[in-house]
Structure 1
Amino acid sequence: MRNLILSTAALALLGGMAFADGHAVVRMGTEGAYPPYNFLNDDGEVDGFERELGDELCARAELTCEWVTNEWDSIIPNLVSGNYDVIIAGMSITDERDEVIDFSQNYTQPDPSAYLAMSDDVDLENGVIAAQTGTIQAAHIASTGATLLEFATPDETIAAVKAGEADAVLADKAYLTPIAEADGELIMLGQQELIGGGVGLGLRESDGELREAFDAAITSMKEDGSLNELIAKWGVGEQF
């Protein structure tokens, strides 16, 4: 999914969590702007696949969770500095991130990235392609002959295509599919890119006990089929 590379100097800011009698208050940090993974509903509350998943993981790990929203471009620095304890925001597990933070096991399979455009004759190799800043899609475009046009939010990438500023947008297929279905002017192109290693929880490297608790909860959901049920419900990729 999305890729954010930070200086390893930020590791000096790592904090820790205190566990008492197997219980703790865990602050779950998400973007709240990337449906179906996470978004704000009409009541202004975090909703989506990751809200349901996070609540269930916390229940199984016997943790009390609080939800915090944070802009994508600073989501890792604010984890490292202690503003919340877990990133649950459609974040792909990558080697670059793993140099700065730790990850749980993946809770989704790698999701194909797709292109959305206004016509089906876009030159993807040499055209102008929009992507959200700090994502694996942006990194992929930068490695090709295409011109990368970056935006802070996913909504802005779609707007750029509709305004003619970009020829297409590259993003997670699960994010783009409902947009294409709802907007008759936009077309999902046939070409897809398989990038990223699946989505996991991001944690501070000092919080090994918390990571182990979430890993155990994720494993239990995989084993009893409840994770696959959520994946199918929200359409976020292939089942385990």
Structure 2
Amino acid sequence: MKKLILTTAVLALAAGTAWAQQTVRMGTEGAYPPYNFIDNATGEVAGFERELGDELCKRAELTCTWVQNEWDSIIPNLQSGNYDTIMAGMSITDERKEVIDFTQNYYPPTASAYAAITADADIKGGVVAAQIGTIQASHVAESGATLLEFATGDEAVAAVRNGEADAVFADKDFLVPFVTESNGEFSFIGDDIPLGGGIGMGVRKSDTEMKAKFDAAIQSMKDDGTLNTLLKKWFGEETLTF
């Protein structure tokens, strides 16, 4: 799960009423499979969060559309009113909660991990790639390694392939496909590192009624088991569940 670290201050707008609009606009990155990505055949947002978000909107009796936005400006553009929620693999953190609010989590806290081409890659004193503005990037910066930041997770992985970085540090769920499909080129190194407090839907602090609607919808999916079913569908039978 991606964990955004705010690098610039953002200002909250006056009280919003997104929950009362005819359509609630769901903001996502569209570049972080399996959480969210763009289906090449349809050009539409797809993935775990698209399927989950559509079901939550149905249960909350809200009409929703999806808006794609780059990760590094995803919170400022929520604040600016370009969309009404964030569903983008965003972990709930105290720092973010100073700026926006969150629903209850719809994915439990999971681990981040290092992946590299060589088993002896230096993850403490070498160069480690991470996606810009994430909690993983902050962790690398504090670890003693040299942080090399990229706009997307894919670019951070590519930096290891082309020799720019010794390793990449990201959500383990994001890295698993790269490792398993690399035919032995990539492997996980070191121990998994738990970061963040689970993934939730980001909303403006003023949109309390909309938040309550989505909170209730998430809880209903936890209660009837459908959220666990979706988690296993997109992340495998061994994934963490509620």
Deviations 1:171-224 (A, max 9, x none): 111110011111121112242110111000000000000000000000000000
CA–CA separation in structure 1 for the residues paired with 2:158 and 2:10: 36
- Summarize the Cα distance change of 1:67–1:19 in structure 2 as closer, same or farther, 3 Å threshold: closer
For structure 1, the residue ranges without an aligned partner over 5 or more in a row are none
Partner SS state of residue 107, structure 1: coil
2:34 matched residue in structure 1: 36
Runs of 4+ in 1 over 6 A off after TM superposition: none
TM-score of the aligned structures, taking structure 1 as reference length: 0.95
Partner SS state of residue 223, structure 2: helix
* 8 Å CA contact 1:15, 1:82 repeated in 2: no
- Summarize the Cα distance change of 1:124–1:47 in structure 2 as closer, same or farther, 3 Å threshold: same
Q: Offset of 1:7 from its aligned partner?
A: 4.9
CA–CA separation in structure 1 for the residues paired with 2:149 and 2:7: 18
Partner SS state of residue 200, structure 1: coil
Aligned partner letter, 1:238: L
Partner SS state of residue 106, structure 2: strand
CA–CA separation in structure 2 for the residues paired with 1:9 and 1:32: 23
Aligned partner letter, 1:226: T
Partner SS state of residue 29, structure 1: strand
Deviates more, 1:180-189 or 1:170-179: 180-189
* 8 Å CA contact 1:8, 1:99 repeated in 2: no
**Percent sequence identity over aligned pairs:** 61
* 8 Å CA contact 1:116, 1:189 repeated in 2: yes
Deviates more, 1:85-94 or 1:176-185: 176-185
CA–CA separation in structure 2 for the residues paired with 1:49 and 1:164: 32
2:165 matched residue in structure 1: 166
1:76 matched residue in structure 2: 75
* 8 Å CA contact 2:18, 2:210 repeated in 1: no
Deviations 1:69-126 (A, max 9, x none): 0000000000000000000000000111100000000000111101111111112111
1:175 is aligned to 2:165:
no
2:241 matched residue in structure 1: 239
CA–CA separation in structure 1 for the residues paired with 2:109 and 2:50: 19
Q: Offset of 1:8 from its aligned partner?
A: 5.0
Partner SS state of residue 16, structure 2: coil
Partner SS state of residue 178, structure 1: helix
Deviations 1:36-67 (A, max 9, x none): 00000122110000000000000000000000
